[in-house]
Structure 1
Amino acid sequence: MKQYGKLAFMVMAAWACAGAPAQAQDNAAPASVWAGKKSSWLALQGGQRDEVFRFAEQYKEYLAVARSPYTATAEAIRLAKAAGFTELTRPEQVKPGARLFLPARDRAVILAVIGQQPLVAGSHVVGTHHDSPHIALKARPVNGAARDGLALFNTVYYGGIKKYQWANVPLALTGRIDTTDGRTIPVSIGFNPADPVFVIGDAAPHADKDLRNRSYTEVFKGEELDPVAGSIPGEKSSVVAEVLRALKDKYRITEEDFVSADLHLVPATQPRDVGLDRGLVGSHGQDDRLSTYCALRALMDLEGTPAQTAIAYLSNFEEVGSVNNTGASSQLLNTAYARLVGGQKGAQYSELDLRTALRHAQVVSADTNDGISPLFPEATEATNAAKIGFGVTIKRYGGGFDANSEYTARIRAILDQASIPWQTHTPKVDVGTGGTIGRFMSQQEMEVIDMGVPLISMHSTFEMSSKVDVWNFYRFMKAFYAAR
């Protein structure tokens, strides 16, 4: 009996010793600070959760209206005017505390709250873009040859898309038509529940055997992204003629007016909450109208007169290289700075003043980034990828696209002082790429850092963002604008 008791004691002691390291490991601190990061939802205090959801509702209202650069610019200006901003038309308007906007051909806009210090001493800029991947109509937009009784829209896709994602999705037509008699005609068909929609039809699984060997990126080809525009012929006219007649009658245009039209097909779906907990916003166009809305709201909500001028730069055409005269590669931002600095300097203004103001500007190039996919995590390198709901993203691309270390430290300090959760993102080597409009501002010697928040299903017809990330990005921009 004594022998059995001694043996049992030894076994129990050995078991305890064997279990001790495991228990110690369970209680040990994470191996890395990044491993210890928690969801930003868990950092909310007091009534902040309610603030997050209120902000998300306002964001969804914006997304429901801002469907293209044209409508996004109009909505930004409408909101800005309601917040006390006026269009810059005279140099004497540029004085401390003034809230100004500078429109750019109805497709981009720059807004500013003039600071206490002159612009040559510095400014704080958030640069975004509010174009998104979509499908555009060609100049001769309707065809029906050999289409067995259907008329289709002729299209060309815009931006980086997975073409198959646009099939079988209700699409709306939005944009404008400009005529030779000076009219600008807004177009919007498909967003109202009573409107018709347009759909790119797929082949049935009963009949697609010859298509099944197409590659992942060629399930649909570019010339196959043509949605149904109509199906009823006239007694003496084709379906194509009837579709053209309907458009011409509705908008009082000629067929040649489509040459001077800017028409986009975008998902007709409305912004929605995703998940039983309603923690995500789902919508087309969050890349990058998410950043645009945060920049706009942060500027509108800025209290008092900042030490340095705060600027929101809402640009166009980023998804195709920031081209054209409303894209970030143009002189649009430089011209805006020249007007603002000229308003402050008067007759003594010089080119050197403009160069000095640009060199002393601090910029956040804001653009969403892809988050870790719950279904395809192998697409990212997990230890350096951003996670949905874990905060604002500092982007580190490598290859000369990163902000310098001292400016990055300054941004980190703003985030930490405002208690804003943040993380980093680096694309997988030899797989992902990076860089947005920041490179064009860097070329002007402006101090630039790329930041964003992660999305799931980026560039798809229905992207998803975390409401808490969107709210924290807005909070960061507001703190950045107010920084000294």
Structure 2
Amino acid sequence: MDKQHYNDGLLRFLQQSPTPFHAVSTMRAALESAGFELLNEQDVWQLKPGRAYVVTRNDSSIVAFTTADADPAETGINMAGAHTDSPCLKLKPNAVMNSPSALQFAVEIYGGALLAPWFDRDLSLAGRVEFRRQNGDVDSALLNWCRPIATVPSLAIHLDREANQNRSINAQKDMPPVFAMPLVPAADNTPAQFDFGAFIRETLEAQHGIVEVDKVLAHELYFYDTQAPAVIGLHNDFIASARLDNLLSCYVCLDAILAAHKSDNKQFSLMVCNDHEEVGSASACGAQGPFLRSVLARLCAQFSQGDAAESVERMTRRSLFLSIDNAHGLHPNFPEKHDANHGPLLNKGPVIKINANQRYATNSRSSARFKAICDQADVPVQEFVVRSDMGCGSTIGPITASGLGVETIDIGVPTYGMHSIRELAGSDDGWLLGRALRLYFGAGDGGGL
């Protein structure tokens, strides 16, 4: 498992995944190419031992799993989860704002974004659109403009002398991106309007060859930074990219489940990557929704004997869930923001996240089980506890643990600048976590991405 090859794959995945929809599309394509069979939630499932399957919901959440010639109620399932969404600027339904000086896009803030780094970046747009064809059929497609089409310009220091000392950011007023100059009024001085529907139709034709669009019905479109992911640092110490939180974890899960499928050591292993973690997970495809439990119930129904509900409960008691989400690395400029004994360092291995108030789902038993895996994989482990006088974020871990009753641990790689438009991780840490996860899923050093 070569580190450079692993990180090259991570950079490609990050570049191909500007939105949760694109991340799931990229993962699904990789899984199907490797022999995972696509399931439809509306169909009757016919699962077989020694096979691999993938199912999606809302095009933004995904579950993939491998099966064994055994009863999961007797063996349990090794599970790992991450999330596909990241804080960003999301386009509002009525997307265009006209002003005398520029055309702007109306946006709302998705998740807990660090807003200051969004200024003066080259932004593009991507996501999903729904449209009606001329024959009356309603369809959808993924779009990605790829090139820079907008920016959020800063106010010059000359017009805001206090900008570096005392400036707040108003999400409604300060964040709408500029994308074009005002349109010239018609000859009768009627104000010219930017045709957003035509803008979408032209892109559908250019990217998908779809020409028979009668009407654009709805969209879920997100702005993203066009600067490519990169390995940086004097000795290639770091990975810099948008959406490291939490696409890095999705990549680690994807690589491990692919390696598990290619391995001769067949066991029940499962990865889930949920949407909407950054806004609370309360959706049909979020971790608080029924997606994972539904898949587990249907899997048990195929492989277990006896009462289906009891089989799910027995399987859950024998399982472990790794909730994988980035951790806060010890920031060199702000060491006082960390507990002195629990400040994880970049490039020193994955982090176990612990919180007395159950903001993380880790307990001593799940921690011990993960440490044993890391010891076997020769992977160093660190621990993170937030300062006792500070609040603590959370993950899909407590939500999944409380929803399923499965033993859970919260882990992740340490990063700087979490929720910024561009985050920073150590170039060793994803690879190290990947080694542990491959072992957990029963895979060897080969296979994967």
| DSSP 3-state at the match of 1:424 | strand
| DSSP 3-state at the match of 1:363 | strand
How do residues 70-149 of structure 1 correspond to structure 2 at under 5 angstroms?
A: 70-88=21-39, 93-121=46-74, 122-144=76-98, 147-149=99-101
| Structure 2 unaligned spans of 5+ | 205-210, 444-449
Cα distance change of structure 1 residues 196 and 441 upon mapping to structure 2, 3 Å threshold: closer
Q: Distance in 2 between matches of 1:244 and 1:203?
A: 31
Q: Distance in 1 between matches of 2:200 and 2:140?
A: 15
Aligned-partner residue type, residue 142 of structure 2 = P
Q: Distance in 1 between matches of 2:325 and 2:100?
A: 44
Cα distance change of structure 1 residues 53 and 432 upon mapping to structure 2, 3 Å threshold: farther
Taking only aligned residues, the RMSD between alpha carbons, in angstroms, comes to 2.4
Instruction: Specify the alignment match of 1:59 in structure 2.
Output: 10
Q: Distance in 2 between matches of 1:207 and 1:371?
A: 36
**354-363 vs 461-470, greater mean Cα deviation:** 354-363
Cα distance change of structure 1 residues 150 and 255 upon mapping to structure 2, 3 Å threshold: farther
Question: 1:136, 1:155 within 8 Å by CA — same for their partners in 2?
Answer: yes
User: Deviation of residue 126 (structure 1)?
Assistant: 0.4
User: Deviation of residue 202 (structure 1)?
Assistant: 1.2
| Larger proportion of helix | 1
Aligned-partner residue type, residue 322 of structure 1 = S
User: Deviation of residue 178 (structure 1)?
Assistant: 0.3
Instruction: Specify the alignment match of 1:22 in structure 2.
Output: none
Match of 1:464 among 408, 417, 424: 424
User: Deviation of residue 476 (structure 1)?
Assistant: 0.9
1:449 equivalent to 2:409? Answer yes
User: Deviation of residue 222 (structure 1)?
Assistant: 4.0
User: Deviation of residue 234 (structure 1)?
Assistant: 3.5
Question: 2:157, 2:163 within 8 Å by CA — same for their partners in 1?
Answer: no
Match of 1:353 among 306, 311, 318: 311
Cα distance change of structure 1 residues 206 and 471 upon mapping to structure 2, 3 Å threshold: same
**249-258 vs 290-299, greater mean Cα deviation:** 249-258
Q: Distance in 2 between matches of 1:320 and 1:242?
A: 31
Q: Distance in 1 between matches of 2:96 and 2:102?
A: 10
Q: Distance in 2 between matches of 1:431 and 1:239?
A: 51
C-alpha distance after superposition, 1:85-108 (max 9, x if no partner): 111357674232111111112111
Aligned-partner residue type, residue 176 of structure 2 = D
Instruction: Specify the alignment match of 1:153 in structure 2.
Output: 105
Match of 2:366 among 389, 407, 416: 407
Return the index of the structure with the highest Cα Rg: 1
C-alpha distance after superposition, 1:379-431 (max 9, x if no partner): 21232111111111111122134433223212111111111111111112222
**432-441 vs 77-86, greater mean Cα deviation:** 432-441
Q: Distance in 1 between matches of 2:113 and 2:422?
A: 12
| DSSP 3-state at the match of 1:117 | coil
Instruction: Specify the alignment match of 2:178 in structure 1.
Output: 228
Cα distance change of structure 1 residues 410 and 267 upon mapping to structure 2, 3 Å threshold: same
Match of 1:397 among 338, 342, 355: 355
Instruction: Specify the alignment match of 1:18 in structure 2.
Output: none
Q: Distance in 2 between matches of 1:467 and 1:239?
A: 50
How do residues 249-398 of structure 1 correspond to structure 2 at under 5 angstroms?
A: 249-251=202-204, 257=216, 260-302=218-260, 303-306=262-265, 308-345=267-304, 348-398=306-356
Question: 1:65, 1:71 within 8 Å by CA — same for their partners in 2?
Answer: yes
Question: 1:166, 1:461 within 8 Å by CA — same for their partners in 2?
Answer: yes
| DSSP 3-state at the match of 2:441 | helix
Match of 2:139 among 166, 173, 183: 183
Question: 2:148, 2:226 within 8 Å by CA — same for their partners in 1?
Answer: no
C-alpha distance after superposition, 1:421-473 (max 9, x if no partner): 11111112222413310112211210100000101111111111112101011
Cα distance change of structure 1 residues 84 and 456 upon mapping to structure 2, 3 Å threshold: same
User: Deviation of residue 250 (structure 1)?
Assistant: 4.0
Cα distance change of structure 1 residues 92 and 213 upon mapping to structure 2, 3 Å threshold: closer
User: Deviation of residue 183 (structure 1)?
Assistant: 2.3
C-alpha distance after superposition, 1:221-261 (max 9, x if no partner): 34421001211413516464256654454447999836x21
Question: 1:231, 1:239 within 8 Å by CA — same for their partners in 2?
Answer: no
Cα distance change of structure 1 residues 243 and 182 upon mapping to structure 2, 3 Å threshold: closer
Aligned-partner residue type, residue 101 of structure 2 = G
Instruction: Specify the alignment match of 1:33 in structure 2.
Output: none
Q: Distance in 1 between matches of 2:230 and 2:431?
A: 16
User: Deviation of residue 278 (structure 1)?
Assistant: 1.7
Cα distance change of structure 1 residues 337 and 202 upon mapping to structure 2, 3 Å threshold: same
User: Deviation of residue 207 (structure 1)?
Assistant: 1.3
1:200 equivalent to 2:159? Answer no
| DSSP 3-state at the match of 1:388 | coil
Q: Distance in 1 between matches of 2:165 and 2:14?
A: 37
| DSSP 3-state at the match of 2:53 | strand
Q: Distance in 2 between matches of 1:320 and 1:263?
A: 16
Q: Distance in 2 between matches of 1:242 and 1:210?
A: 39
Question: 2:84, 2:250 within 8 Å by CA — same for their partners in 1?
Answer: yes
Cα distance change of structure 1 residues 255 and 84 upon mapping to structure 2, 3 Å threshold: closer
| DSSP 3-state at the match of 1:179 | strand
Question: 2:95, 2:196 within 8 Å by CA — same for their partners in 1?
Answer: no
Q: State the TM-score, normalizing by the size of structure 1.
A: 0.82
| DSSP 3-state at the match of 1:257 | strand
Q: Distance in 1 between matches of 2:193 and 2:80?
A: 46
In percent, how many aligned pairs have the same letter?
24
